[in-house]
Structure 1
Amino acid sequence: MKKIVFLVSLVCVTLFNSCSVDDSAADFQIEFIPIETVEIPTEFNFGETHIITVTYKRPTTCHSFSSFQYVPEDNNVRNVAVINFVTLGSDCETLEDDFQSKSFSFSVLDTNSYTFKFWQGKDDNGQDMYLIYEVPVTN
C-alpha cells in the first residue's frame, strides 16, 4: 500500500512540475479587427435562420480568425465584431489586400426589426465606428 501511495504521489508531483504556468510563455493575444463589408439579407423571415457574412482585412500573417464577439442589446440591437488571434514573437509579414470572409447564423425569434452594428474600428477621437443595418422581419 505504501508503494502505491508513493507512486501516485511521485506521478502527481511530476505532472504538476511539468505543467507549470510561465507568464512569459503567453505567445499570443486577441485583437478586434475592423469589419470592411457585410452581406446581410434585406429582410428576415420570422422563425428562420439566416446567414450573415462579414469581410475584414487581415493585417499580418500572424493574425488568424478566432471568433465573433456578438453582444445583444435591448430592442433587438446586436453588436458584432471580429476577433483574431495574433501570434507574438514571430516573423510577421504585413499583408496588403488579404481580405477574409466569415459567416455566422442568425435565428429570427422576434417579429420586430433587428438592428445590427458591425464594428469598424475607432475614429480619430477614439469613438467606436459601426456599419449599421436595420433589417425588418416578415411573417
Structure 2
Amino acid sequence: MKRTFLALCALAVVLLLNSCDLGDDSPNFHFVTLRIESVEMPESFDLNETYEINVTYTVPDGCTLLEGFDVTKEEVTTRKVVAVGSQRTDQKTCTEIIREEVSSFSFVVLYSEPYLFRFYQGEDVNGDPLFLEIEVPVN
C-alpha cells in the first residue's frame, strides 16, 4: 500500500511538472550592430603586450545593451571590430534616448608588423559599410 501511494505521488509530480507552461520559447531579443563613434588607441604597440582598447559607441534606445565586441581577423594584422548589442523584443515601449557609452576590449600584439583596425560605423546611403580605420605601428 505504501509503495502504491509513493508511486502515485511520483506520478502526480511528474504530470504537474510536464503540464507547466513556462511561456513562449521564442527568443525575447535579437542581435544588432552598434555604431562606433570613436576609439582610444595607443600611439604604438609593443610586441607580446596586451592593451585595453577603449571604444565609444552609440546605443539607439533603452531596450538595447552592449553584448561585446566582435574582433575579426581579416588579414595577418588587419582586424575588423564591430560593437554587438542585444535588443529586447518583448518590451512594449523603449525609451528613445540615443546615448553614447564607453567600453573596452583586450588586444594582444602577436605580430611585429603594423596593425590596421577597421571599426564599424554603420552604413552609407547605398548600404555599404563605413569604417573608422586606425593603423598602429609595433615597436
How far apart in 2 are the matches of 1:116 and 1:53? 13
How far apart in 2 are the matches of 1:5 and 1:32? 53
Q: Which has the larger radius of gyration?
A: 2
Whether the aligned pair in 2 keeps the contact of 1:33 and 1:83 (CA below 8 Å) is: yes
Whether the aligned pair in 2 keeps the contact of 1:115 and 1:134 (CA below 8 Å) is: yes
How far apart in 2 are the matches of 1:110 and 1:8? 62
How far apart in 1 are the matches of 2:5 and 2:75? 62
TM-score using structure 2 length:
0.82
Task: Give the match for residue 79 of structure 1.
Answer: 80
How far apart in 1 are the matches of 2:38 and 2:22? 43
Task: Give the match for residue 68 of structure 1.
Answer: 69
What RMSD in Å do the two structures reach over aligned CA positions? 2.4
1:100 equivalent in alignment to 2:101: yes
- Mean Cα deviation higher: 83-92 or 50-59: 83-92
How far apart in 2 are the matches of 1:136 and 1:33? 27
Report 1:28-47 matches (<5 A): 28-47=29-48
Distance 1:8 1:69, change over 3 A: farther
How far apart in 2 are the matches of 1:57 and 1:65? 10
How far apart in 1 are the matches of 2:46 and 2:19? 56
The amino acid that maps onto 1:26 is P
The amino acid that maps onto 2:94 is C
Given candidates 82, 90, 93, the residue that maps to 2:92 is 90
Give the number of aligned pairs. 136
Give the Å deviation of 1:68: 0.9
Give the Å deviation of 1:20: 6.8
Whether the aligned pair in 2 keeps the contact of 1:67 and 1:83 (CA below 8 Å) is: yes
How far apart in 1 are the matches of 2:65 and 2:53? 20
How far apart in 1 are the matches of 2:60 and 2:131? 19
